[in-house]
Amino acid sequence: LGALVRELHGAGPLSRSELGMRTGLTRSTVRALIGELATALLVTEEEPEPLGTPGRPSHLVRPNPLRPVSLGLEIAVDSIAGAVVGFGGDVLQSLRVDRPRGELSLDHTVADLAQLAARLDRFDEDSAIGIGVAIAGVVRRADGVVALAPNLGWRDIALSHALRQSLGTMLPIHIGNEADLGALAEARRGAARGASHILFVSGEVGVGGGVIVDGRPLNGIAGFAGEIGHMPLNPAGSACRCGSVGCWETEVGEDALLARAGRERGGGRDAVASVLHDASSGDERAQAALEHVGQWLGYGLAGLVNVLNPELIVLGGLFGRIYEQIADTVELRLDRYALADARRLVRVVPAALGEDAPLLGAAELAFETFLGDPAAWLRPRPALVELATA
Amino acid sequence: LGALVRELHGAGPLSRSELGMRTGLTRSTVRALIGELATALLVTEEEPEPLGTPGRPSHLVRPNPLRPVSLGLEIAVDSIAGAVVGFGGDVLQSLRVDRPRGELSLDHTVADLAQLAARLDRFDEDSAIGIGVAIAGVVRRADGVVALAPNLGWRDIALSHALRQSLGTMLPIHIGNEADLGALAEARRGAARGASHILFVSGEVGVGGGVIVDGRPLNGIAGFAGEIGHMPLNPAGSACRCGSVGCWETEVGEDALLARAGRERGGGRDAVASVLHDASSGDERAQAALEHVGQWLGYGLAGLVNVLNPELIVLGGLFGRIYEQIADTVELRLDRYALADARRLVRVVPAALGEDAPLLGAAELAFETFLGDPAAWLRPRPALVELATA
């Protein structure tokens, strides 16, 4: 059942025969299991159109986009966002609200999120599997505590607890690092669909990474894996917000780009857009700044290619937006610094889901409970029983 | 059955009740499965000693160290080696023969290995599960081709084919990178027993890594993962044998240590021993060379801690031999360059299996077939049928 549900969630509507092929289940098993899902209102089945050829066409199985649903939330550096995603991957509703950058209190943030969630009227708690939250910070996997979110000035923050109070919900709340969740979303719905060894690199002020190894997220012993922005790469480099020196993000993060282009640090998305604009108009300082980021990006990626041997590198956030300007430089650095055998096998592509990748990944994170154990949804739930007896 | 066999291979003799606890199988299932293994001569059962207390003591189940066995082979930079390992992990026999360093032909090498294997008279092909080979090079997982072994001057070498001819065997031959196999051995029998997120870092002339994520080796898309010696770390560094510049191994490999200590490159183990000796006698140049290696080792490890969030770093080869002299420096570098949360959770230890780790890992690699599908050994094998009918 789990395999069927996973296929339907990943691919959307599929014919019974296709489901059989993808899961290796027999025709009669597929029919029986789909019957159970249909009874629980999790899928609908459509009579096939006659083919006009011999052989019976196969029923089309369509996941019910309203059951279950999940709520994805994101706490980014300069915005918060929410999305309601249905079984099968439809984004039913989504909303993003800009916020000023800088240190923001936990209370303020969860209140803002509750206000935003209240506006997502397609979210129905009775049909919901859970809530996922993406945050630009280091998240301890065991208890969802935000160990460190330098952009927000947070350290050891019990986010899920505060969010539960603020949202007034009993649903499970899962917290994840934005780059890890961006990787999950790109792997399931974006540029890395079908790939199993993926490195997702997302840059803004900070640089984060999400690594997928053999189809599974690389978490490390406590969920701190993928903090690639803090690989020390330049012994002669500058101080990093993390307390170290010469971290990768001090060379490729947004502030490095802006400072080299003669802009003020902290200028955000608009300032980056203006660097891109000036570079295309021939401004040499802006061009040199992009070249610098491209060179150091490729340099760091080369090391990760040697360590991880991925098939695909997906560039998100800032790197996705400047991808066209830096792609050639990045490829040349990979040629120079990565081992030939691993280098030959890796492709570099921009993210397909844009800035919403972490948000959609948060919604996918909440779906994992359902995909891992869909049988729980075959039993009548209290809310439905109430409805039925009303 | 697979779970039982894996426990017995990993831990050696266990009581029936311990096997039940470790596998979660019921008492009667354990008894039945152990019965099948005993009939196939894979285990023996010992009557328990009376405890003198109420309750029946549990039978002790002992893996048969002679059935199956595997042959591990190693092609190191300056030696070749072989070991016969039995079910349960006993090393029945092992042998290492020094060879001159430098480029060596494939023909020469497989002939030497065949000669060495012929001297391992405890190896009985009829009871053998297969042959594993550890090599200081980059191995393509799909077909066991050695893509690159710079110390031997090899590129795209079909080692298993040549070895099969030379050994005249029909047994499966599995090729693996020496650091990957060192990690496997240390995880199963050495310093990393019981850990699930492990970084094994082994240094000689080259520096290799074996990464274990959630108990499973990190291979990457084609088996090239773990080439940590070629992370570019020093933009102002020197040329590497791989064609790149400033790779980690140019700062921490054996030649870097020897050159900084005023020795000739390529001096090998004896030269390293003399650097250690001189340093302990107060030779400042030797001390500075060790300090340099310790600093760069810690610097590179810090980046890998941030990327992988391991619980254990095992230092093997050269790094294991100089561990005592560099441990403090390495720890200080980790404090300085790794993120606090990941850093707190990681311990650095020297390898426990010494230079034999890759060799024992090769033997373990060959065992994987048996551990994955022990049932094949419950059926009578042609050789045994012959014996029985003779």
Residues B310/B313/B316/B322 CA torsion (nearest 10 deg): 150
Taking contacts as CB-CB distances below 8 angstroms, the residues of chain A near B232 are: 233, 299, 302-303, 337
Interface test with A, best of B180, B201, B306, B332 (most A CBs within 10 A): B306
Average pLDDT of span A372-386: 69
CB-based contact A262:A288 (threshold 8 Å) = no
- How far apart CA B183 and CA B171 sit, in angstroms, is 24
Cα four-point dihedral sign B133, B137, B141, B143: negative
Preceding amide of A68 cis, omega within 30: yes
Tokens 């039982």 found at: B4
Residue A318 has pLDDT above 50, yes or no: yes
Question: Taking CB atoms and an 8 Å cutoff, what residues of chain B touch A212?
Answer: none
Per-residue pLDDT, A279: 96
* Predicted local confidence at residue A173, as pLDDT: 95
Indicate the burial class of B87 (C-beta count within 10 angstroms; 0-12, 13-18, 19 or more): buried
Contact call for A235 and B299, based on CB within 8 A: yes
pTM reported for the whole predicted model = 0.88
Residues of A in contact with B221 (CB under 8 A): 196-197, 309-311, 345
Chain A closest CA to B226's CA: distance in Å?
5
For A213-227, b/e burial (b = at least 16 CB within 10 A) is beeebbbbbbbbbbb
pLDDT at B52: 66
Q: Name residue, tokens 């040199």.
A: A288
Residues of A in contact with B342 (CB under 8 A): 220, 222, 224-225, 227
Q: Which residue of B has its CA nearest to A245?
A: B337
Which residues lie closer than 8 Å to A372 by C-beta, 6 or more apart? A2
Q: Both tokens of residue A305?
A: 């290619």
Residue-level pLDDT at A109: 93
**What CA–CA distance (Å, rounded) separates B115 from B242?**
32
Distances (CA, A) of B142 to A200, B64, B176: 25, 32, 11
Choose the mutation target among B156, B177, B227, B250 for the interface with A, i.e. most A CBs under 10 Å: B227
| CA distance, residue B248 to nearest chain A CA (Å) | 10
| Cβ–Cβ < 8 Å for A69, A123 | yes
Cα–Cα dist A181/A171, whole Å: 19
Mutate which: B140, B307, B336, vs A, most A CBs within 10 A: B307
Among the partner-chain residues A138, A232, A242, the one whose CB lies closest to the CB of B303 is: A232
**Which member of B216, B220, B339 has the closest CB to residue A138?**
B339
Closest CA to A208 of A156, A158, A157, A151: A151
Distance of alpha carbon B344 from alpha carbon A148, whole angstroms: 14
Q: What is the DSSP string of B315-351?
A: EEEHHHHTHHHHHHHHHHHHHHHS-HHHHHH-EEEE-
User: To the nearest whole angstrom, how far is the Cα of A155 from the nearest Cα of chain B?
Assistant: 11
Alpha helices in B57-150 (DSSP H): 106-119
Identify all chain B residues contacting A217, using CB atoms and an 8 Å cutoff. none
User: Whose CA is closest to B122, among B98, B101, B91?
Assistant: B91
The predicted pLDDT at position A252 comes to 97
The pLDDT of A149-164, averaged and rounded, is: 90
Taking only the tens place, the pLDDT of each residue in A127-144 is 999 999 999 888 988 888
Please, which residues bridge with residue A9 across strands? none
Q: With bands split at pLDDT 50, 70 and 90, how would you rate the model's confidence at A384?
A: very low
| 3-class secondary-structure state, position B385 | helix
Tokens of B143: 């077909």
Integer angstrom CA distances of residue A176 from A46, A348, B16, B267, B353: 37, 24, 42, 49, 38
A337 vs B contacts (CB less than 8 Å): 232, 244-245
Cβ distance B230 to A311 less than 8 Å, yes or no, reads: no
The token pair at B194 is 């019981």
**Termini Cα distance of chain A:** 31
| pLDDT value of residue A138 | 87
Tokens of A252: 């490729």
The answer to whether B127 touches B81, Cβ cutoff 8 Å, is no
Exposed, middle or buried by CB within 10 Å (0-12, 13-18, 19+), for A266? Answer: middle
Amino acid type, B345 = L
Q: Smallest CA–CA separation between B98 and chain A, in Å?
A: 29
If pLDDT is split at 50, 70 and 90, which confidence band does A50 have? low
Instruction: From chain A, pick out residues whose CB is under 8 angstroms from the CB of B183.
Output: none
- Coil/strand/helix, residue A349: strand
- Which DSSP letter does residue A168 get? T
Best of A157, A233, A337, A344 to mutate (most B CBs within 10 Å, chain B): A337
Q: Which of B281, B301, B292 is nearest to B254 (CA)?
A: B292
The neighbour count for residue B46, using CB atoms within 10 Å, is: 11
Residue of chain A whose alpha carbon sits nearest to that of B304? A231
Which among A223, A308, A338 is the nearest to B225, CB-wise? A308
Q: pLDDT grade, residue A46 (50/70/90)?
A: confident
pLDDT band at A57 (very low <50, low <70, confident <90, very high): confident
pLDDT tens-digit map of A241-287: 888 999 999 999 999 999 999 999 888 889 999 999 999 999 999 99
Kindly compute the dihedral angle of the four CA atoms of residues A170, A153, A218, B89, in this order, to the nearest 10 degrees: -100
Distances in Å between the Cα of A53 and the Cα atoms of A18, A49, A56, A87, B103 are 18, 11, 8, 33, 65
The pLDDT assigned to A261 comes to: 96
Question: Which pLDDT does position B50 carry in this prediction?
Answer: 66
CA distances from B350 to B77, B230, B322 (A): 21, 22, 9
Query: Taking CB atoms and an 8 Å cutoff, what residues of chain B touch A213?
Result: 213, 218, 220
B116 Cα distance to chain centroid: 20
CA distances, B136 to each of A28, B79, B153, B180, B223 (Å)? 51, 11, 11, 10, 14
Long-range contacts made by residues A163-170, C-beta under 8 angstroms, separation at least 24?
A: A163/A73, A163/A110, A163/A113, A163/A131, A163/A133, A165/A110, A166/A110, A166/A111, A166/A113, A166/A114, A167/A110, A167/A113, A167/A114, A167/A117, A167/A131, A168/A114, A169/A125, A169/A131
Distance separating alpha carbons of residues A174 and A161, to the nearest angstrom: 11
Counting as low any pLDDT under 50, the low residues of chain B are 384-390
> Mean pLDDT, to the nearest integer, of A343-349?
97
Residues of B in contact with A233 (CB under 8 A): 232-233, 235, 303
Q: Which two tokens stand for residue A369?
A: 């409970």
> How many other C-beta atoms can be found within 10 angstroms of the C-beta atom of residue B101?
16
Residues A226, A209: Cα–Cα separation, whole Å: 5
